[in-house]
Amino acid sequence: MKVLIIGHGNMGKTYANSFISSRFIKPEDIFALVRNSDFSGIESAIPKANFSTTVSEKIGDFDIVILAVKPQDFSVLAQTVKPYLKDGQIIFSVMAGITIAKLEAQLSCSKIVRSMPNIPTQIGMGMTVFTASANVDRKELFIIQNLINTTGKSVYVENEKLIDAATAISGSGPAYVFYFMQSMIKAAVDLGFNESEAELLVNQTFMGSVAIQNSYSLSNEEWIAKVASKGGTTESALRIFEKGLLEKTIIEAVKAANDRALELGS
Which residues, listed in sequence order, are joined to residue 258 by a DSSP beta bridge? none
The end-to-end CA distance of the chain, in Å, is: 33
- The model's confidence at residue 266, banded by pLDDT at 50, 70 and 90, is low
Whether 167 maps to a domain, the answer reads no
- The model's confidence at residue 41, banded by pLDDT at 50, 70 and 90, is low
137: CATH: 3.40.50.720
Is the entire prediction scored with pTM above 0.75?
A: yes
**Average pLDDT for 27-45:** 77
Q: What is the pLDDT of residues 239-253, one digit of tens each?
A: 999 999 999 999 999
115: number of Cβ within 10 Å:
22
pLDDT surpassing 60 at residue 84: yes
- The model's confidence at residue 38, banded by pLDDT at 50, 70 and 90, is low
Which residues, listed in sequence order, are joined to residue 3 by a DSSP beta bridge? 30, 64
How far from chain centre, in Å, is Cα 8?
15
The candidate with the shortest Cα–Cα distance to 97, out of 147, 165, 152, is: 165
Dist CA 51 CA 34 (whole Å): 7
Which residues, listed in sequence order, are joined to residue 234 by a DSSP beta bridge? none
Instruction: Report the SS3 class of residue 258.
Output: helix
Same domain assignment for residues 112 and 202: no
* Sign (positive or negative) of CA dihedral 204, 209, 211, 215: positive
Whether 164 maps to a domain, the answer reads no
Q: Looking at residue 169, what DSSP letter applies?
A: I
Residues in contact with 68: Cβ distance below 8 Å, sequence separation at least 6, in sequence order: 5, 6, 7, 8, 9, 11, 12, 15, 94, 95
What mean pLDDT is reported for the chain? 92
Whether 180 maps to a domain, the answer reads yes
Q: What is the pLDDT of residues 133-177, one digit of tens each?
A: 999 999 999 999 999 999 999 999 999 999 989 999 999 999 999
Same domain assignment for residues 40 and 137: yes
Same domain assignment for residues 11 and 140: yes
**Average pLDDT for 205-219:** 96
Which residues, listed in sequence order, are joined to residue 129 by a DSSP beta bridge? 116, 155
Final residue of a domain: which of 124, 159, 194?
A: 159
- Domain range spanning residue 217? 173-265
The candidate with the shortest Cα–Cα distance to 70, out of 37, 93, 41, 103, is: 93
